[in-house]
Amino acid sequence: MEAFVSDCIHCDIHDLLEPELTREGADLGQIASKVTEVLADLVLSAGPDDRAALLADIIANLGHFVLEKGEHPEASDEPKARRH
């Protein structure tokens, strides 16, 4: 069976995470650790000369998105998939 992937990997990732995030007793630290492991795999898929710049971009983007999304919190405290 072939997995369906949309045109938006951002939305696909949220769809995959949503059941874990909404599960009672969800361990956000453990979920974040697994997402971070995926990012590490992504960095390691780049050539050795490109890894430092990619890692810097990831960290800069993370900071930017946390600040941007923190300015516009959702009305509900429940985690929801943020779709485009």
Query: What Cα–Cα distance (Å) separates residue 48 from each residue in 22, 35, 43, 51, 55?
Result: 37, 21, 9, 5, 11
Q: Which residues contact 43 (CB under 8 A, 6 or more apart)?
A: 51, 54, 55, 58
Is 60 domain-assigned? yes
Entry pTM: 0.75
Residues 23-73: tens digit of each pLDDT: 999 999 999 999 999 999 999 999 999 999 999 999 999 999 999 999 987
At a CB cut-off of 8 Å and minimum separation 6, what does 21 contact? 28, 31, 79
Range of the domain at 65: 28-72
Inside any domain, residue 79: no
Q: Is residue 1 part of a domain?
A: no
Residue 54 lies in a domain: yes
Tally the domains of the chain: 1
58 in a structural domain: yes
